Amino acid sequence: MRVGDLWAMWVCFFRSLVKLLTLTILVAIVLSALRNATVKEVTKPSPLPAEEYRLLSPETYSYIFNQPDACKKGSPFLVFMVPVAPLDSSARDAIRETWGAAGQSTITLFYMGVPKEGQVKSIQDKLEEESNNYSDVIQMNFLDSYENLTIKSMMIMNWLATYCPNATYAMKVDADIFVNVFFLVRLLSSSPRNNYIAGSVISDGKPRRDRNSKWHLSKHLYPEDNFPSYVSGAGYVFSIDMAAKVSWASRFVRRIPIEDAYVGLCLHVLGVQPVPSRSWLVFGRNLFEIRNLDYDRCTFARLVLVNGFQPSRLRQAETTCFS
Ligand SMILES: *[C@@H]1O[C@H](CO)[C@@H](O)[C@H](O)[C@H]1NC(C)=O
Ligand SMILES: *[C@@H]1O[C@H](CO)[C@@H](O)[C@H](O)[C@H]1NC(C)=O
Ligand SMILES: *[C@@H]1O[C@H](CO)[C@@H](O)[C@H](O)[C@H]1NC(C)=O
Ligand SMILES: *[C@@H]1O[C@H](CO)[C@@H](O)[C@H](O)[C@H]1NC(C)=O
């Protein structure tokens, strides 16, 4: 055999190999696309049966105290919605005196259900006085309990969509959280105004099957082994359009008593990915610090929120770090 023939054979072989490879890749892409299409079809949600949706439907409950005009005095840039137990007036006071004090562009409202004791007159009288004094108390007639936090969050979404559609952002934030309002507003001023939700993202969350866990979730309620990405319930901020969207999506998602994972399931239906809020200044530091930081070093001045604050600590942090 001549050298030229050998060379021609090699070229031929090489060409066939390239063709084969190209074909394989094309087939793989087509198959993947087909599989993606069928997966999408399978997971396309259908509305919940009326009986299952009832507990999460805003129509089921009515307001005992409401603040329908809270957003009418100029459209706020950012609305803080704080879910809180009816009896926890000391947390509300601390927030009013610190980060929750109305600023030029922010307002703060407190959201609650009815205490286990029922609408006891002494409790309700005190709430009414508080509501008259501060015009920031919203109460609905569902039972205020840990398991019902999902209901509370969905009612918050519905309230925002109904009474505050002209705000720019809203934030659901727990009552034991320290919020750095100045820093947050600055962060938001350059954030998207649509389909945006940010916070401490949990992307590898799994349901706890352990019966003794506070977050126990039975296979019956939630058969899947994973949660889609969600933002920690301690505090998450979103563009105001998300309130109506999440509220709508809840028609398709069975209630689980884990509020933040539930919101994540709604986001999954909407195809919205939560955004991890990391600083581009401080080397990817999580700005929504959900661990309980030692506040002495006043790291807070460069964070959006930190959790684990009792009312007295909240006041202390405010005077020490920000005066
Ligand atoms: C199929 O879905 C996966 C994951 O969602 C994605 O990475 C991939 O690009 C998709 N493939 C096609 C062909 O759309
Ligand atoms: C929102 O703004 C529009 C236009 O400025 C106004 O007509 C509407 O009444 C506002 N809605 C609320 C709920 O404040
Ligand atoms: C409401 O305001 C009055 C007058 O400032 C005050 O005496 C009272 O303690 C306040 N009540 C509540 C529940 O905050
Ligand atoms: C949740 O709230 C509903 C409506 O008030 C009530 O019937 C139910 O008992 C509550 N569930 C829990 C576990 O607290």
Pick the residue whose CA is nearest to atom 2 on ligand 2.
166
Ligand 3 contact, 24 CB (< 6 A): no
- On the CB side of 235, how many CA atoms lie within 13 Å of its CA? 27
The ligand placed nearest to the CA atom of residue 43 is 1
Mean pLDDT estimate for the chain: 86
pLDDT of 70 reads 94
Residue burial 163-187, b: 16+ Cβ < 10 Å; e: rest: bbeebbbbbbbbbbbbbbbebbbeb
Cα–Cα nearest to 184, from 264, 292, 100: 100
Which residues have any ligand 4 atom within 6 Å of their CB?
Answer: 142-143, 145, 147-148, 151
Of 39-53, 83-97, 266-280, highest mean pLDDT? 83-97
Ligand 2 contact, 320 CB (< 6 A): no
For 249-279, the pLDDT digits (tens) are 999 999 999 999 999 999 999 999 998 876 5
Which region, left, alpha or beta, applies to residue 218 given φ > 0 means left and ψ of -120 to 50 means alpha? beta
pLDDT of 304 reads 62
Q: Say if residues 307 and 91 touch (Cβ distance below 8 Å).
A: no
Pick the residue whose CA is nearest to atom 1 on ligand 3.
133
Q: Say if residues 230 and 150 touch (Cβ distance below 8 Å).
A: no
The ligand placed nearest to the CA atom of residue 133 is 3
pLDDT of 296 reads 45
d(CA 235, CA 240): 15
Cβ atoms within 10 A of the Cβ of 130, count? 19
Phi, psi of 275 (to 5 degrees): -100, 125
Neighbouring residues of 142: CB distance < 8 A, sequence distance ≥ 6: 60, 61, 113, 114, 148, 151, 152, 155
Atom number of ligand 4 nearest to Cα 60: 4
Neighbouring residues of 165: CB distance < 8 A, sequence distance ≥ 6: 240, 243, 244
Phi, psi of 277 (to 5 degrees): -95, 95
Ligand 1 contact, 29 CB (< 6 A): yes
Lookup result for tokens 């299409």: 37
For 195-245, the pLDDT digits (tens) are 999 988 888 899 999 888 888 899 998 999 999 999 989 889 999 999 999
- For range 15-41, the mean pLDDT: 80
Cα–Cα nearest to 267, from 45, 60, 56: 45
CATH 3.90.76.10 correct for 50-322: no
> Is the pLDDT confidence value at 307 over 90?
no
> Is the pLDDT confidence value at 143 over 90?
yes
pLDDT of 287 reads 61
> Is the pLDDT confidence value at 295 over 60?
no
**pLDDT-derived band at 107, boundaries 50, 70, 90:** very high
pLDDT of 281 reads 45
d(CA 183, CA 218): 40
- The whole model's pTM is what? 0.79
Ligand 3 contact, 133 CB (< 6 A): yes
pLDDT of 312 reads 73
Neighbouring residues of 95: CB distance < 8 A, sequence distance ≥ 6: 82, 108, 110, 175, 314
Domain segments of the chain: what residues? 1-42, 50-322
Task: Give CA 98 to chain center in angstroms.
Answer: 23
d(CA 291, CA 306): 7
What percent of the chain shows pLDDT beyond 70? 84
Task: Give CA 274 to chain center in angstroms.
Answer: 8
